[in-house]
Amino acid sequence: MQNFDYMTPTRLIFGKGSIEKLPEVMRPLGRRVLLAYGGGSIKKIGLYDSVRQLLSGFEIVELPGIQPNPKYDPSVLEGVRLCKAHEVDVILAVGGGSVLDCSKAIAAGAKYEGDPWDLITYKVKAQAALPIVDVITLAATGSEYDCGGVISRTETNDKIGYMDPLLFPVCSILDPEYTFSVSARQTAAGCADAMNHTIEQYFAADTTLLNDGFCESMLKSLMVNTRKCLDNPEDYTARAEMMLCCTYGCNGILSLGNSQSGWPCHGIEHALSAYYDITHGEGLAIITPRWMRHILSERTMDRFVKYGVNVFGIDPALPKEQIAIRAIDATYAFFESIGIPMHLREVGIDESRIDEMARHIAQNEGLDKAYAPLSEADIRQILIDSL
């Protein structure tokens, strides 16, 4: 087992009605609040009105319109400008992972005098950040329980994931009822994202029985509960379990003591959504089974066998290679069964920029050091297989 140094300082308030605790959470953090949100879903579900009412004693400045795959320009830049102009004390992010990720970049940028891109690209280490509270309305990224954010810069086709312990939310309020309105498409994409977070941590060289079991349970729970959410979007128990699974996905708790895996599917997908602005979870669902096929070898075989037997219940008496291939096929079939388009062409991506994307990924994502190292040619092949 590898050494580790781990902390997740975020307070989680989970369950029906947990929004009532918002004033108590916010009060010690200050009076001037930047309220960040997306394209309007929080207004449709009444959450915007609840927040405004609960925070009636606070001074609120709004940053609306944060898009999926949040953009550096205008959202991060505008948020930083607002925080500085209004001397904001705390950021309240209400919405999906994109709203929260954007808020994280703003939180650091607001305490920095230079170009916030310096922080996102690690050119400069942030010295301080505004505190962040969030109310998450979509189960997917796990941003509510980690210190990472992913920001897109359209003009350079960059989509950069960056992490800084200063950016852990102080508190995340998670009420599964706010996810009842999430569309079938986004529910499935959220499931694929969280499943892939788990898979990225499961496929590593050194793992433990403990972590493997945790990951296997996550994957089974996500599959069962996503189907239930799709059958009945207001199934509280299923939405709740899905939400908690997603919360655990990205803060490293599933792989404490494991060797690093390199998160290859994320490395590849971030380029897809940078170049084509596609939905992150859909890109991951398309890439994952093709990546699995590509890295299946004598060396990785036993991981696939364990995955197939413990997650999909494949007969352990079958020959190893058959188990591995069935497991990969079952992964593909599950994503397809929840309505995810399983080819890049279906999400508007053709072969025209594959060479360029493969080069970009090989140069920027460090996948030559992944659990199963990927060269530019490997990445190109995975993209072609995904068309």
Contacts with ligand NZQ, residue ranges (CB under 6 A)? 38-42, 45, 68-69, 95-99, 101, 137-138, 140-143, 146, 148-150, 178-179, 181-182, 186, 190, 193, 250, 266, 280-281
Answer yes or no: are the C-beta atoms of 38 and 98 closer than 8 Å: yes
Minimum CB separation from ligand NZQ for residue 328, in Å? 21
Q: From the list Zn ion, ligand NZQ, none, pick the one residue 341 interacts with, judged by a Cβ distance below 5 to 8 Å according to partner type.
A: none
Closer residue to ligand NZQ, CB minimum distance, 278 or 305: 278
Nearest CA to 238 out of 165, 187, 272 is that of 187
Closer residue to Zn ion, CB minimum distance, 229 or 268: 268
Degrees to nearest 5, angle at CA 267 with 283 and 348: 30
SS3 assignment, position 298: coil
Degrees to nearest 5, angle at CA 132 with 131 and 137: 175
DSSP 368: G
Q: From the list Zn ion, ligand NZQ, none, pick the one residue 291 interacts with, judged by a Cβ distance below 5 to 8 Å according to partner type.
A: none
Q: From the list Zn ion, ligand NZQ, none, pick the one residue 75 interacts with, judged by a Cβ distance below 5 to 8 Å according to partner type.
A: none
What number of other Cβ atoms are within 10 A of residue 190's Cβ? 29
| Shortest-Cβ-distance residue relative to Zn ion | 193
H/E segment holding residue 320: helix 320-337
Minimum CB separation from ligand NZQ for residue 101, in Å? 5
Rounded CA Rg of the chain? 20
Nearest CA to 134 out of 115, 153, 149, 120 is that of 149
Closer residue to ligand NZQ, CB minimum distance, 157 or 181: 181
Q: From the list ligand NZQ, Zn ion, none, pick the one residue 186 interacts with, judged by a Cβ distance below 5 to 8 Å according to partner type.
A: ligand NZQ
Lookup: tokens for 356: 């360029």
Strand order from edge to edge, sheet including 11-14: 11-14, 171-174, 132-136, 90-95, 32-37, 59-63
Minimum CB separation from ligand NZQ for residue 222, in Å? 14
H/E segment holding residue 193: helix 184-202
Q: From the list Zn ion, ligand NZQ, none, pick the one residue 109 interacts with, judged by a Cβ distance below 5 to 8 Å according to partner type.
A: none
What number of other Cβ atoms are within 10 A of residue 267's Cβ? 21
Q: Tell me whether residue 125 is exposed, middle or buried, using C-beta atoms within 10 angstroms of its C-beta: 0 to 12, 13 to 18, 19 or more.
A: exposed
Minimum CB separation from ligand NZQ for residue 31, in Å? 26
What gap in Å lies between CA 347 and CA 7, rounded to an integer?
A: 37
Closer residue to Zn ion, CB minimum distance, 111 or 266: 266
Closer residue to ligand NZQ, CB minimum distance, 41 or 255: 41
Q: From the list ligand NZQ, Zn ion, none, pick the one residue 349 interacts with, judged by a Cβ distance below 5 to 8 Å according to partner type.
A: none
Minimum CB separation from ligand NZQ for residue 305, in Å? 27
Q: From the list ligand NZQ, Zn ion, none, pick the one residue 95 interacts with, judged by a Cβ distance below 5 to 8 Å according to partner type.
A: ligand NZQ
What gap in Å lies between CA 170 and CA 129, rounded to an integer?
A: 11
Closer residue to Zn ion, CB minimum distance, 18 or 201: 201
Minimum CB separation from ligand NZQ for residue 74, in Å? 15
Minimum CB separation from Zn ion for residue 16, in Å? 27
Answer yes or no: are the C-beta atoms of 246 and 200 closer than 8 Å: no
Q: From the list Zn ion, ligand NZQ, none, pick the one residue 157 interacts with, judged by a Cβ distance below 5 to 8 Å according to partner type.
A: none
Given the DSSP bridges, would you call strands 148-153 and 158-163 parallel, antiparallel or unpaired?
antiparallel
Closer residue to ligand NZQ, CB minimum distance, 135 or 309: 135
Closer residue to ligand NZQ, CB minimum distance, 134 or 378: 134
Minimum CB separation from Zn ion for residue 73, in Å? 23
What gap in Å lies between CA 172 and CA 10, rounded to an integer?
A: 7
Closer residue to ligand NZQ, CB minimum distance, 38 or 131: 38
Minimum CB separation from ligand NZQ for residue 104, in Å? 7
User: Which residues form the interface with Zn ion (CB under 5 A)?
Assistant: 193
